[in-house]
Chains A and B, each alone.
Chain A
Amino acid sequence: MDIRSQVSMVFHLDKCIGCHTCSIACKNIWTDRKGTEYMWWNNVETKPGTGYPTKWEDQDKYQGGWEKRNGKLGLRSTGKGRVVFNLFHNPHQPGLDDYYEPWTYKYEDLFNAPEGDDQPTARPISMVTGKHIDIEAGPNWDDDLSGSPVYAENDPNLSALTPEQRAQLSAIERLVFFYFPRICNHCLNPACVASCPSGALYKRGEDGVVLIDQKRCRGWRSCIAACPYKKSYYNWSTGKSEKCILCFPRIETGQAPACFHSCVGRIRYLGVLLYDADRIDEIAGRPDNELVDAHRELIVDPNDPAIIKAARENGIQDDVIRSAQKSPVYKFVKEWKIALPPHIEFRTLPMLFYVPPMLPVMSSFDGKTVKNMSEGLFPDFDKARAPIEYLGKLFGAGNNSKVRYVLKKQMAIRTYRRAVTVGDVEMEHAEHMLREADCTVEEAEAIYKLTSLCTFEDRFVIPPAHREEAIEMVADPLEYKQSVGFGFKEEVKRGL
């Protein structure tokens, strides 16, 4: 047993309003520099849709993540034998056009244009070449299903659906979509780290944040191809790759990452999970339909005395263990089982989990009353507007029962709360539903509370980073007083 701690996340998709505040918060802090204009470490996609970069989930196109070859896990895009050949030209690397060409507008034309009959316009200017461009794509070009025949219908997850289901999805009356905010998952079996020829990528031992050592990175671009979520990006100006750093300077000082902090829908939760690093290989190699459960198995109980002992032996501080015991992520993922990893079949073991959206409007309105459309206790999830196969492909590696379990539980809790607050549903009926959904009244209340009435402190249980101890181990803090810091202090400038 090798217990480690990991700062983990939950995004509750039912609460996301698609406002992109998170993306802007991140952009303003981290990616407003030359060479990073096109990067969105946090981006919000509309699903169904092709996302950013376009069709990132299609691994036949991008070759991201792991695959099993002769019973062994290997990266799809690279490996020891292939690494040298991929250096000169990486065959699976996305280009700028797979993302979009970043632009600004020539605002000065609005002021400098000579007097005339026409209103002056600010023409779009490429932020790469500085020349005029026709905008053909953007980071959320298909926001709210705009251009669906081109974008939504090319969503790789739709392959799980029958032609009828697909046709229904885009029928006017049944149109359905939800938002899918994405950041780096800070995976337990990160493909980006395993692919880096220079060993520049690493996982922080203390909290599991995955980082790129800017000084070691040589711009071989392997991580960009290897990450199945396309969350490692190439800075074309400095010639180095960059990725989400989970705002570690904020976490270390007890603040939530900027995208979490600014989230308008309050959909984001952050907390520590303890896991057994010895089992990563075995778990990542399980068959697709077992992966969701196996991943959960890897996460261990922070209240178990044996685990606490092993954690302490591994140097995990007591206050980090206490933080793990209060972790909202642990509740969502492990206790309530209503948060699922995205595309676990890529086998990187992502540590960002999603509560799938209760998209289906499972009733109809006949002009007078709202009617439940199904005969049984629960609405018929298989006939829901967003087919369960679709969500199953996204969050269950094709194992739809995992998604059905979550939707059932959420539905039962909703009915139960309706019985409590509105009273137009029989309590007995609601409790029956809860039992069917593997949920107690206490659990329902707890989920309700953490979903709807959560405070900052409920949502973000940030472990103490103990950087002061780390720093004291290597240097005398006073020595660095009034200087830049403890990292390297070289100018971050592109080489010749």
Chain B
Amino acid sequence: MAQNTNILDYFNLFWFAVLPYVALFTFLLVTIQRYRRRGFTYSSLSSQFLENKIHFWGLVPFHYGILTILFGHFLGFLIPRQVILWNNDPLRLHILEVTAFIGGIFALVGLLNIVIRRLVDPRAKVVTSTADWVVISILLFQVGTGLLVAVFNSWGSSWYAASISPYFWSLLAFSPDIAFVTPMPLLVKLHIISAYFLILLFPFTRLVHALVVPNPYLWRKPQLVRWYWDRRKIRTPEFKVKRK
């Protein structure tokens, strides 16, 4: 009996105290290295050009859904107290839970359409790599377990803020306290583990496009001009002297 508990402990330790660090450091190192060495590969790799009909029904719901959900997870992680306070009022709790659930459904529907699209359209198939299928599978698992958790372990927004958020913070503080997660139901554990796999595989797949979203556009001037050298400086006498 005692033996068994021990093995389980090791398992828990591996999944919740080792894997997250492996994932996180791989993520950091590889994304940076890939950006520096193979920056050309940072692209949305859009296939809208090849298949323009199902595309809308897949990509739009998926992105809006997943971004809503991600934002929610982020809030619960960053400001757990405020989330719990907000949830004190049952009406507000319901609003939050329903929004999150709809986000999840959007993401799931989008993902399913993405799968169908890449299976049935011969052109979309041409640009679908094995890595794409791996990403899609994990995402499906991730969104699926997330929705199941929402159904079977309700009021996740509250217990996530109360227990998972401190667990994440303990990870960040480099003193992982897995006591927060070990008592969690299996579904929740699976959801967390698959999230680590997503982070781990992130730098090796097309997911990196999320890191290069176009923020400068919002404040740059519309027209861009690049000079190969400073056109005013090159005319200055110092430069001419330097050339001789």
A residues with CB within 8 A of B: 80, 83-84, 87-90, 93-96, 128-131, 189-190, 193-194, 196-199, 201-206, 214-215, 217-221, 234, 236-240, 280, 312-316, 467, 469-470, 472-474, 488, 490-496
Contacts and interface: CB of A to CB of B under 8 A. Distances in A.
Contacts of A88: 59-60, 62-64
Contacts of A206: 227-228, 231
A205 B231 contact: yes
A218 B214 contact: yes
B5 to A, nearest CB: 41
Given A196-B217, A220-B44, A239-B46, 15 more contacts: A95-B48, A95-B49, A128-B126, A193-B224, A194-B223, A198-B216, A204-B226, A218-B209, A219-B44, A219-B46, A219-B209, A220-B46, A238-B43, A240-B43, A493-B40
B220 A199 contact: yes
B47 A198 contact: no
A286 B41 CA distance: 42
Interface string B190-228: 000000000000001110110011101110101111111
17 contacts: A84-B214, A87-B63, A95-B49, A96-B123, A194-B222, A199-B220, A199-B224, A205-B226, A205-B231, A221-B49, A236-B127, A239-B43, A240-B43, A474-B228, A495-B40, A495-B43, A495-B208
B171 to A, nearest CB: 27
A201 B214 CA distance: 13
Contacts of A314: 231-232
Interface stretch (B12-20, B50-58, B93-101): B50-58
B223 A190 contact: yes
Contacts of A189: 223
Interface of B: 37-52, 55-56, 59-60, 62-64, 122-123, 125-127, 129, 131-132, 204-206, 208-209, 212-214, 216-218, 220, 222-235, 243
A496 B43 contact: no
B188 to A, nearest CB: 29
A371 B45 CA distance: 62
A238 B45 CA distance: 7
A219 B43 contact: yes
Given A88-B63, A129-B126, A205-B227, A197 B49 contact: no
B224 A203 contact: yes
Contacts, number: 172
B41 A496 contact: yes
B137 to A, nearest CB: 15
A83 B228 contact: no
Instruction: Give the one of B37, B41, B204 with max A CB within 10 A.
Output: B41
Nearest to A73: B222
A334 to B, nearest CB: 23
A219 B43 CA distance: 6
A193 B45 contact: no
A392 to B, nearest CB: 29
A199 B216 contact: yes
B232 A495 contact: no
A189 B222 CA distance: 9
Contacts of B214: 83-84, 87, 197-199, 218, 220
The 3 A-B residue pairs whose C-beta atoms are closest, nearest first, are: A315-B231, A197-B214, A495-B41
Contacts of B49: 93-96, 221, 234, 236
Given A87-B213, A490-B37, A492-B40, A93 B226 contact: no
Contacts of B225: 202-205
A218 B222 contact: no
Given A89-B48, A89-B60, A96-B50, A197 B223 contact: no
Nearest to A474: B229
Given A89-B48, A490-B39, A496-B204, A473 B224 contact: no
B231 A199 contact: no
B235 A315 contact: yes
Contacts of B122: 129, 131
A84 B132 CA distance: 23
Contacts of A495: 38, 40-43, 45, 206, 208
Nearest to A74: B222
Contacts of A95: 48-52
A238 B225 CA distance: 25
Given A93-B48, A128-B126, A234-B49, A473 B43 contact: no
